[in-house]
Amino acid sequence: MKARSLMISLAVVLAGSLAGGLLGGSTLATGDKLDDSLKTLGQILSIVEDRYVDEVPTDTLVYNAIRGMLRTLDPHTNFLDEESYRDMQEEQRGAFYGLGIVINKRGKDKPLTVISPIDGTPAARLGIRAGDVISHIRDKSASIDIDTLGLEIRDAVKYLRGPKGTEVTITVERAGFDKPLEFTISRDTVPTSSVTNAYMIQPGTGYIKVINFTQNTADELDRALETLHSQGMQRLVLDLRGNPGGLLDQAVKVADRFLESGKMIVYTRGRVRGSDQEYHASHRTEGERFPLIVLVNRGSASASEIVAGALQDHDRALIVGETTFGKGLVQSVFRLSRQTGLALTTAKYYTPSGRLIQRDYSSLEEYFSDLDEDDPPSLEAQGQTSRTDGGRTVYGGGGISPDRKVPSEETPRMLAELLRQNAFFDYAVRYTAQHPSLTAEAASDPVHAEGFRRRFNPDDSLLNGFKTYLKEKAIAVDEGEFGKVAARVKTLIKAEIIGIAGGLTYRDRVLLEEDPQVHAALDSFEQAQALAERSTLAAPSPAAAR
């Protein structure tokens, strides 16, 4: 749980820096006290540089001093060094220049492995496959030739990305091939989609997964809705679980798609001029009227909470899952020198009914350690209540509390250990190499990949093969415990096989079939239908912002 909470916290902190967009900084006048403080800081830096036992780069000292200062303000005000600032800009744009592969590794001495090529990218066009192990990277333009063993993922990404049109050669080891393969790839634009899955999860029921909010999110959502409507969609599950947020204007546009024109979506309040803003629906006069369910969890933050809060306050959607993160601080990003930036909190978010999204952060340790709790502090217990348009009671004090609470599924210890060792993916790589005809059609296009997902139902021979694989790798498992989780083991292996054949989109669809929160959502459309009918008649809520 500690690792999970850290991942969520880091994602939310980074996404928070995107919420305000890029703003120009201004020159500030300094008074005598500030001049004296800066003089003291300069003296300390000089002494450390001259006298400290080890040599320390000046940039390291200055940047850490800045971070220490900002840490006294709030969890989401951050200094963005050159790399972080560049990453933020790429995420905002929704694209970068590279090869088009998702990579991972499971430990310092583990190989750098391709999890999936991205459709339509240079890597996919040249035939890079899921499961390929990257042993060497050679960038001729930078005269770099490295062995990837021991290389951290972040460093590997630096070498794989680069200016558009430049070439990089990668050497891969592939299951079923005796000799390594070399691919010389010209870097090109790699889109990073916000909408990673959109399909008919049941007859008449659409499903859309949004993983963040970038410049392209609303447009991607429009295309997904149009496609699902053409396939007969009558109701929708909008999955915002694990979505750490992003651009405020995109959150407003996404909520706008489902609300009547004029309805408030969110408002902000701050200390400086211009920080008090109200955002209303304006995209359409009617909005999408079908029954809507929004899935959230503890990893849903910031822009995700804006969308969920607005749709809940206007009785437009049923919220299902777990209480969200509670990140309601607005960051404006100021460009600094040397391609660095300052993500500074300038306001707070409030839902249309006046609920404060941000939870208490007086103790930063508790702010992040709360994520470790299986049953976090209840918003209902805080006594901060508001009313939706239709008169339902909703709760404030931090985060969005779901209308129907459904905890995420616990992962048994044995499964967690097998996942940690990458056993399911590694076995799936072997399986697909041994059955090339089985997966060849699925790799050809999305229609065949979806067909393969629906047809492929392996029998117990798959489990027997997996057990043999575990013995070969000296991975010990308890037979009794294995029997208890055999069904989930089969699902996880099936998902990885389909992912290798057709891509991550189809792997995730397999996992959704066994997802208890998704099942709860699909069972809740009677309530969502009632809300959709109620929201048509309800008057606008008397928000505190007005």
Least Cα distance to 295 among 219, 407, 181 occurs for 407
pLDDT at 393 over 80: yes
**pLDDT one-digit tens code per residue, 80-107:** 988 888 888 877 777 788 898 888 876 6
Select from 314, 102, 106, 251 the least CA-distant residue to 191. Answer: 102
| Structural domain boundaries, residue 441 | 413-514
**What tens digit of pLDDT does each residue of 336-391 get?**
988 899 999 999 999 999 999 898 888 877 777 665 555 555 666 566 789 999 89
pLDDT of 536 reads 60
Could you read off the pLDDT of 462-498 as tens digits, one per residue? 999 999 999 999 999 999 999 999 999 999 999 999 9
Which amino acid appears at position 111 of this protein? P
Q: Hey, is 414 helix, strand or coil? A: helix
- Integer CA distances (angstroms), 317 to 228, 259, 436, 519, in order: 18, 10, 44, 17
Is residue 240 domain-shared with residue 365, that is, in the same domain?
yes
Contact call for residues 270 and 330 (beta carbons, < 8 A): yes
Question: Is residue 502 within 8 Å of residue 443, measured between CB atoms?
Answer: yes
Please provide the average confidence, as pLDDT, over all residues in the chain. Answer: 85
Answer yes or no: do 426 and 279 share one domain: no
302 is catalytic: yes
372: DSSP letter? G
Catalytic (active site) residue 2: no
Same domain, 304 and 204: yes
Residue 130 lies in a domain: yes
Q: pLDDT (tens digit, 9 = 90+) per residue, 64-77?
A: 988 999 989 999 99
Q: Is 327 a catalytic residue?
A: yes
Contacts of 227 (CB under 8 A, 6+ apart): 198
Q: Are residues 404 and 426 in the same domain?
A: no
187 and 123 in one domain? yes
Same domain membership, residue 390 and residue 290: yes
Give pTM, 2 decimals.
0.85
- How many domains does the structure of the chain reveal? 3
Average pLDDT over residues 196-210: 97
pLDDT for residue 458 is more than 70: yes
Q: Which of 194, 302, 304, 541 is catalytic?
A: 302
Whether the CA torsion 117, 119, 123, 124 is positive or negative: it is positive
Does residue 19 have a pLDDT over 90?
Answer: no
9-18, 133-142, 278-287, 393-402: segment of lowest average pLDDT: 9-18
**Please, are residues 133 and 431 in contact by the beta-carbon 8 Å criterion?**
no
User: Which residues 6+ apart lie within 8 Å of 516 measured at CB?
Assistant: 406, 408, 409
Query: Does 170 map to a domain?
Result: yes
- Same-domain check for residues 469 and 396: no
Mean pLDDT for 238-263 is 94
Instruction: Say yes or no: 165 and 210 in one domain.
Output: no
Percent of the chain with pLDDT over 70: 86
Residue 514's nearest CA partner among 409, 419, 420 is: 409
The answer on 306 and 160 residing in a single domain is no
Residue 255 near residue 218 (C-beta atoms within 8 A): no
Residues 488 and 435 in one domain: yes
Render 74-112 in DSSP notation, one character per residue: -TT-EEE-HHHHHHHHHHHHTEEEE--EEEE-SSTTS-E
In a 10 Å sphere around its CB, with 0-12 CB exposed, 13-18 middle and 19+ buried, how is residue 29 labelled?
A: exposed
3-state secondary structure 15-57: HHCCCCCEECCCCCCCCHHHHHHHHHHHHHHHHHHHHCCCCCC
Task: Show the tokens assigned to 365.
Answer: 């340790």
**296 and 218 belong to one structural domain:** yes
Q: Which amino acid is at 294?
A: V
Q: Regarding predicted confidence, which is higher, 250 or 10?
A: 250
Give the span between the Cα atoms of 72 and 77, in whole angstroms: 9
Q: Which is the catalytic residue, given 209, 263, 327, 494?
A: 327
Whether 107 and 181 share a structural domain: yes
32 within domain boundaries = no
* 237 vs 4, higher pLDDT: 237
Q: Which residue has the tokens 């995209």?
A: 283
DSSP 258-325: TS-TT-EEEEEE-SSTT--EEEE--S-SS---S-EEEEE-TT--THHHHHHHHHHHTT-SEEEES---
